[in-house]
């Protein structure tokens, strides 16, 4: 559910961002002012990040619980097995099968989980960059760009 909500919010965010020019000109029927447009986009960004974090946390929790349950149930059944079954299959073969199944589970889910964690982290970094760093850095960048642009025009006139 969290995955669907975060993807839906991201799609709506891109859709609303696409209408920026219409909102700026005042012809967009959805937003009456530019400030309501930015407030909506900010709330959508924060909600998307929150849903991504919840999704990664719940995925990690479910996989951890499933892994624990598999370990416990397998060991319980191995120890409760009848002696006749143990006589037909050696302890080494039982443990090999057990470790192979656990290796398959661990090798299949851990890379996926790591990838999902990286996606969640990147989303958090993007929101921090957009909300915090850009308003601080952009005014200085524009202040530096103006003299550089004037210097460029001056050099073009001389050459």
More confident position, 138 or 25: 25
- Report helix, strand or coil for 92: helix
Tokens of 119: 């996606």
Per-residue model confidence as pLDDT tens digits over 105-149: 666 666 676 677 777 777 777 777 777 777 777 788 778 888 888
More confident position, 109 or 42: 42
Q: Is the pLDDT of residue 29 over 70?
A: yes
13 band by pLDDT with thresholds 50, 70 and 90: confident
Position 2 scores a pLDDT of 65
Position 109 scores a pLDDT of 65
Overall average pLDDT of the 96-106 stretch = 64
Cα 142 to Cα 139: distance, rounded to the nearest angstrom: 5
Q: Are 22 and 68 in contact (CB under 8 A)?
A: no
| Angle formed by the axes of helices 34-80 and 2-18, nearest 10° | 160
Position 151 scores a pLDDT of 85
More confident position, 43 or 81: 43
Per-residue model confidence as pLDDT tens digits over 52-61: 788 878 877 8
Query: Chain-wide mean pLDDT for the chain?
Result: 75
The alpha-carbon radius of gyration of the chain (Å, integer) is 28
Domain map of the chain by residue range? 2-120
Q: Are 52 and 119 in contact (CB under 8 A)?
A: yes
102 band by pLDDT with thresholds 50, 70 and 90: low
Q: Is the pLDDT of residue 96 over 60?
A: yes
Q: Could you tell me which residues come within 8 angstroms of residue 41 by beta carbon, excluding any fewer than 6 positions away?
A: 13, 16, 17
Position 100 scores a pLDDT of 65
């Amino acid at each position: 559910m969290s995955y669907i909500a975060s993807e839906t919010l991201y799609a709506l965010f891109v859709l609303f961002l696409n209408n920026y020019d219409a909102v700026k000109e005042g012809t967009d029927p959805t937003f009456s002012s530019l400030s309501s447009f930015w407030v909506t986009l900010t709330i959508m960004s924060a909600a998307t990040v929150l849903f991504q974090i919840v999704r990664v946390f719940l995925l990690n929790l479910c996989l951890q619980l499933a892994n624990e349950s598999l370990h416990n149930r397998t060991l319980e059944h191995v120890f409760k097995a009848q002696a006749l079954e143990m006589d037909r299959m050696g302890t080494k073969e039982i443990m090999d099968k057990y470790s192979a199944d656990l290796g398959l589970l661990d090798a299949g889910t851990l890379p996926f989980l790591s990838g999902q964690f990286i996606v969640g982290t990147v989303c958090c970094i993007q929101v921090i960059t957009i909300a915090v760093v850009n308003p601080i850095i952009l005014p200085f960048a524009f202040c530096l760009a103006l003299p550089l642009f004037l210097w460029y025009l001056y050099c073009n006139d001389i050459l």
